[in-house]
Amino acid sequence: MSTLTKVALGMMGQLRPKPATGASAPAIALPPPRKHGGVPLAEALAKRHSSRDFAGKALPLPLLSDLLWAAFGVNRPDGGRTAPSALNAQEVDVFVALPTGAYLYDAAAHELQLVAASDLRRVTGYQDFVDEAPMDLVYVADHRRMGLVPVGKREAFAYTAAGAIAQNVYLFAASRGLAAVIRAWIDTDAIANALGLSHDQQVLLSQTVGYPKAGR
Ligand SMILES: Cc1cc2nc3c(=O)[nH]c(=O)nc-3n(C[C@H](O)[C@H](O)[C@H](O)COP(=O)(O)O)c2cc1C
């Protein structure tokens, strides 16, 4: 769908998901993440960049598993995560829009839980490439977990935490030869509706990840 069409539909509150392609499994068990390998950090930093040219090819499950763990997985026995959060509120949820459905990443169980049996990719942003790239991540703050954070700081801290997650994803992508772009040009209401979010949940940012289009 073109950007113009999406903007017009968004203004009418009509930007909606597509039917899912294939079966929407209620849960997807992710294989254990590989916590070794990849290029050295300095090399990943040297390669990190935003890309908006994606091939449609799906990411294999082991790669998706590694990516989500790098993004915001559990990396310590006490439940600590790969990205920081103010007062360890861990208020950001990572949703994953796949052709088969939209899923919540459950970091503790390291699995995906179905939240919507439809293809939400085109709802995750106005830019046309988000429809066809194999996966869009959506970062959502759950304000109910930020009870200890001063009210006036909650939104800023949630965006900061989401930014750290997004940079993990960028570095992972650079390390594995994937393309990625963080996006704020999104219809937050359309995404919230499609994901069935509550009033306590705030859509922050979206990030597209996939294989780079050939020749890019
Ligand atoms: C908060 C934030 C919002 C952004 N929103 C978008 C967006 O909606 N669409 C997009 O294509 N790029 C978006 N970007 C990516 C920037 O355009 C990109 O980071 C910038 O051009 C620098 O390029 P680089 O990431 O390759 O260094 C965003 C970046 C940030 C940090």
Mean pLDDT of all residues in 110-122 = 97
pLDDT of residue 163: 98
Least confident of 8-12, 111-115, 145-149, 158-162: 8-12
214 pLDDT exceeds 90?
no
* Ligand 1 pocket residue status of 46, Cβ below 6 Å: no
* Ligand 1 pocket residue status of 166, Cβ below 6 Å: no
Beta bridge mates, 179:
210
| pLDDT tens-digit readout, 159-196 | 999 999 999 999 999 999 999 999 999 999 999 999 99
Ligand 1 centroid, distance to 30 Cα (angstroms): 29
Which among 82, 83, 85, 103 is positioned nearest to 94, based on CA atoms? 103
216 pLDDT exceeds 70?
no
- How far, CA to CA in Å, does 11 sit from each of 16, 126, 186, 204? 12, 11, 12, 19
| pLDDT tens-digit readout, 73-109 | 999 999 999 999 999 999 999 999 999 999 999 999 9
142 secondary structure, DSSP code = E
56 pLDDT exceeds 70?
yes
In this prediction the pTM is: 0.97
37 pLDDT exceeds 90?
no
* Ligand 1 pocket residue status of 34, Cβ below 6 Å: no
* Ligand 1 pocket residue status of 183, Cβ below 6 Å: yes
Ligand 1 centroid, distance to 92 Cα (angstroms): 20
215 pLDDT exceeds 70?
no
Ligand 1 centroid, distance to 183 Cα (angstroms): 6
**Residue nearest ligand 1's atom 6 by CA:** 183
pLDDT of residue 200: 97
Task: Kindly report the average pLDDT of the chain as a whole number.
Answer: 96
Ligand 1 centroid, distance to 50 Cα (angstroms): 7
Identify the burial level of 72 via C-beta atoms within 10 angstroms of its C-beta, where 0-12 means exposed, 13-18 middle and 19 or more buried: buried
